[in-house]
Structure 1
Amino acid sequence: MLIDQFGRKIDYLRISVTQRCNFRCLYCMPKIPFNHQPKENLLSFEELFLFIKAAIDEGIEKIRITGGEPLLRKDLSVLIKMISDYKKDLDLAITTNGFLLKDFAKDLKNAGLKRLNVSLDTLDEKKAKQLAQKDVLSSVLAGIEEALNVGLKVKLNTVALKNLNDDELIALLEFAKAKNIQIRFIEFMENTHAYGKLQGLKRDEIIQILSQKYDVKLIKKAEKAPVSLYSANGYEFGIIDPHSHEFCDSCNRIRLSAEGHLIPCLYFDEALSIKEAIRKGDVKAAVEILQEVLRNKPEKNKWSVIDNETSLRAFYQTGG
């Protein structure tokens, strides 16, 4: 069992398999050049799996594959199958922008993927192009449909932004409701790589907008997820609020980058690398590094409105 210094059980590993992304979303990496990381800089699937097996043996029960955009990593279904075959009852998921999903959904399902989250910030074609700096909406919607058709469980992630999609929150909720899937509205997470003029909506502002049409009531804060669940006339949706330290109280996760950096917190800039240990096949040393990272895991994030701090790490490096 993996326990951090504050007594939190760590059973969730998020793995960024690539920093590359085919979008340039305003809230993430609008000015980062399209680049290609040399293959030798990345952990291979075999190397990733060597660590993943050890992490599962140490108590990891949930794994989410992220990026960048994870579907840009060639043959991702191969890694999914490795993980699924090793532990069939593992909670195994992907977060994706959905652009390539139509082509890969069936392979991912057949490899053992159980569910995925798809980013959907707008239902307006022009806004989607503005946000992603690319014509993306039709492909994303087609990807969502295909994922549902092949039997994957789907959730939607929506970053709530003032003067961009604040007039669509009700429509987005109703889109998700019609598909019988859950939507999660996410407060904009300030970072130095985002477009500087963006302003996010806070939890209470999101609720206020939705309350114009729906009777919104708090259900509960999810026990093992940084999300509060609400009801809108019986439909369940979520709000992720990183600006509250309650976000951290039940944090059960740790992150691994494509280059082998173990990161204790999405905001935290300190990290330790397992690359050398894994490439030597020294799993014991990699697990010792994992334990040290847990000792460095902070109690709370730094997204404090009072402190006005902004993350220096790009989220495409850590998987959001």
Structure 2
Amino acid sequence: MLIDGFGRKVDYLRVSVTERCNFRCQYCMPEKPFSWVPKENLLSYEDLFKFIKVSIDEGIKKVRITGGEPLLREDLDKFIKMVFDYKNDIDLALTTNGFLLSSIAKKLKEAGLKRINISLDTLNKDRAKQIAQKDVLDKVLEGIEEASKVGLKVKINCVPIKGINDIDIVEVLEFCKSKAYVIRFIEFMENNHAKAGAKGLNSDEILKVISKKYPNFVKVPRDTSSPAQYYRFEDGYEFGIIEPHKDDFCSSCNRIRLTAEGFLIPCLYFEDAMSIKDAVRNNRIDEAVNILKKVLENKPEKNKWSSKSDNEISTRAFYQTGG
């Protein structure tokens, strides 16, 4: 069992397989050039798997593959199969922008992927293009449909930004409700890689927008294993809001992150990290485990987005950690 310095059980590993992305979203990295880390700097799938395997042995029960955009890395299905074949009851999931998904969803499902989170910030083509800085909506919707068709459990992520897609909250919610997809609205996490001046909606503002059309929903008791607070309509449909600005958001954090270059990151907000690259490349697995435990000892109690100051902006590059 993995326990951090504040007594929290850590059983969820998020693994970024690339920092490359084919979108340039306003809330993530709108100004970053289309470039990539040299392949030799990245951990191979075999080396990533060495660490995942020992992490599972130490108590990790959920593995999520992220990026950048993970579908940009070739043979991702083979990597997923490596993890599935090692422990087929692991909660194995993927987060993607969905643009490349329609052509690979079936392979991912057959490899052992169980769940998939797909970003959908609007159903308006022009606003989708404004957010991602390319024409993306049709391909994303194709990817969502194909993922559902092949039997993957679909969740939708939406980041409402003031003055851009805040007017689309109800429409996206109704789309997901009609398809029986779970949707989580995510509060924009201020970071210095986002578009200057970008402002998100907090959970109270999101709920206010929804309540204008759907006034009768109730708060669901919080599942501490989930980062989202859920709400239920009268017909039983539930939607969630991920609230990193709330004081209690970090109290049950069970996550740790591994980047494609081998850095273990204890908290999404802070830059603190330690590298396991040399240890796993040289098969010093005990050393990698010791580094993991050291990182957990130093895991912060909470982020600073919940600070009362309006100036708390993370320097974290989310495209390296998958959010």
Equivalent positions of 1:1-320 (< 5 A) are 1-214=1-214, 215-233=216-234, 234-307=236-309, 308-320=311-323
- Any conservation in 2 of the 1:207–1:216 contact (CA below 8 Å)? no
Q: Which amino acid aligns with 2:181?
A: I
Identity %: 63
- Partners of 2:278 and 2:168 in 1: CA distance: 47
Runs of 4+ more than 2 Å apart: none
1:50-106 CA-to-partner distances (Å, cap 9, x unmatched) read: 011000000000000000000001100011000000001000000000000001100
Question: How much does 1:232 deviate?
Answer: 2.7
CA distance in 2 between partners of 1:304 and 1:45 (Å): 36
TM-score, normalisation: structure 2 = 0.98
Q: Is the 8 A contact 1:210 1:216 kept in 2?
A: no
Where 1:262 maps in the other structure, the secondary structure is: strand
Consecutive unaligned residues of structure 2, counting only runs of 5 or more, are: none
CA contact (8 A) 1:245 1:301 kept: no
Distance in 2 separating the partners of 1:92 and 1:15: 11
On the 8 A contact 1:219/1:231 being kept in 2, the answer is yes
CA shift, 1:164, in A, is 1.3
Contact 1:28/1:316 (<8 A) preserved: yes
The residue type paired with residue 123 of structure 1 is L
Quote the Cα distance in structure 1 between the aligned partners of 2:139 and 2:85. 30
Deviations 1:185-209 (A, max 9, x none): 0000000000012110010000000
Q: CA deviation at 1:23?
A: 0.1
Structure 1 residue 309 displacement after superposition:
1.4
Given that residues 16 and 257 in structure 1 are in contact (C-alpha distance below 8 angstroms), is that contact kept between their aligned partners in structure 2? yes
- CA drift at 1:268: 1.5
Deviation at 1:167, TM superposition (A): 1.3
SS in 1 for 2:157: strand
The code of the aligned residue for 2:269 comes to Y
CA deviation vs aligned residue, 1:273-298 (integer Å, no higher than 9, x gap)? 00010111000000000000001100
Structure 1, unpaired ranges of 5+: none
Q: How many residues align?
A: 320
Q: Secondary structure at the match of 1:183?
A: strand
Which segment is superposed worse, 292-301 or 214-223?
Answer: 214-223
